[in-house]
Amino acid sequence: MRNKSVILEARDIRLAIELIELGARLQLLEAETNLSRERLLKLYKEVRGESPPKGMLPFSTDWFMTWQPNIHASLFMAYFRFMQTHTQLKGLELIIKAYRMYLEQIKRGGMDTVLSLTRAWTMVRFFDAKMLQMANCKECGGEFVAHAYDPTKGYVCGLCHMPARAGKTRKAAEAAAANASQRDAVAAA
Ligand SMILES: [Zn+2]
């Protein structure tokens, strides 16, 4: 037993269940709770009715720069930064709250979930490690996730400069919805 306190263990189990329900990968659960891998595997199977996916977590920031993921990542960050400024929430709690807001917005807009909780969590770590930054689009004024060392002067976001392959109706609707909700989050601040 790694946990001596029953109360702490109960708290960890509750947190792990919440994270698993939100789609967390095993690595995230191991990093954020003190539960053993064995217990986490058992919990995961009980909650989701299947074994967790195998494989490494993404280590690259590049995924967040591709067109559709960037819009979703930027939407999550708008909520994350808003909650960071206007609430006492910190760390994982803050990530979970912002992620729930992101999910609600995605559902309202009838979009697919592109950003997983594990991706969002990884992205916050990339920000903490100063590998990512927010850049202001000079066209729409929105804030978007960008590489830390890229110049942000004259930055144009993926919504204002839509690649041809993304220029389909559904994508455009998705972009408009994400853009509008990011503005709402910023305007509310
Ligand atoms: Zn823009």
The per-residue pLDDT string of the chain (189 residues; one tens digit each, 9 = 90 and over) reads 554 789 999 999 999 999 999 999 999 999 999 999 999 999 999 999 999 988 887 778 999 999 999 999 999 999 999 999 999 999 999 999 999 999 999 999 999 999 999 999 999 999 999 999 999 999 999 999 999 988 889 999 988 987 776 555 555 666 666 666 666 665 554
Tokens of 106: 């995605």
Please tell me the distance between residue 154's alpha carbon and the centre of ligand 1 in angstroms: 11
Report whether 73 contacts 115 (CB < 8 A).
Answer: yes
Q: CA Rg, the chain, in Å?
A: 18
Please tell me the distance between residue 176's alpha carbon and the centre of ligand 1 in angstroms: 11
Please tell me the distance between residue 143's alpha carbon and the centre of ligand 1 in angstroms: 8
Please tell me the distance between residue 171's alpha carbon and the centre of ligand 1 in angstroms: 15
Sorted by where each begins, the domain ranges of the chain are 6-48, 62-188
Report whether 189 contacts 82 (CB < 8 A).
Answer: yes
> What's the confidence (pLDDT) of residue 181?
63
> What's the confidence (pLDDT) of residue 151?
87
Please tell me the distance between residue 139's alpha carbon and the centre of ligand 1 in angstroms: 5
Please tell me the distance between residue 65's alpha carbon and the centre of ligand 1 in angstroms: 14
Tokens of 38: 């064995």
Please tell me the distance between residue 172's alpha carbon and the centre of ligand 1 in angstroms: 13
0.75 cut: is pTM over it?
yes
Nearest to 71 by CA among 152, 165, 143, 148: 143
Please tell me the distance between residue 113's alpha carbon and the centre of ligand 1 in angstroms: 21
Buried b (16+ CB within 10 A) or exposed e, 86-114: eeeeeebebbbbbbebbbebbeebebeeb
Handedness of CA 17, 21, 26, 32 (dihedral sign): negative
CA gap 32, 77 in Å, rounded:
20
> What's the confidence (pLDDT) of residue 178?
66
Please tell me the distance between residue 140's alpha carbon and the centre of ligand 1 in angstroms: 4
Please tell me the distance between residue 41's alpha carbon and the centre of ligand 1 in angstroms: 42
Please tell me the distance between residue 20's alpha carbon and the centre of ligand 1 in angstroms: 34
> What's the confidence (pLDDT) of residue 87?
95
Please tell me the distance between residue 158's alpha carbon and the centre of ligand 1 in angstroms: 7
Please tell me the distance between residue 173's alpha carbon and the centre of ligand 1 in angstroms: 15
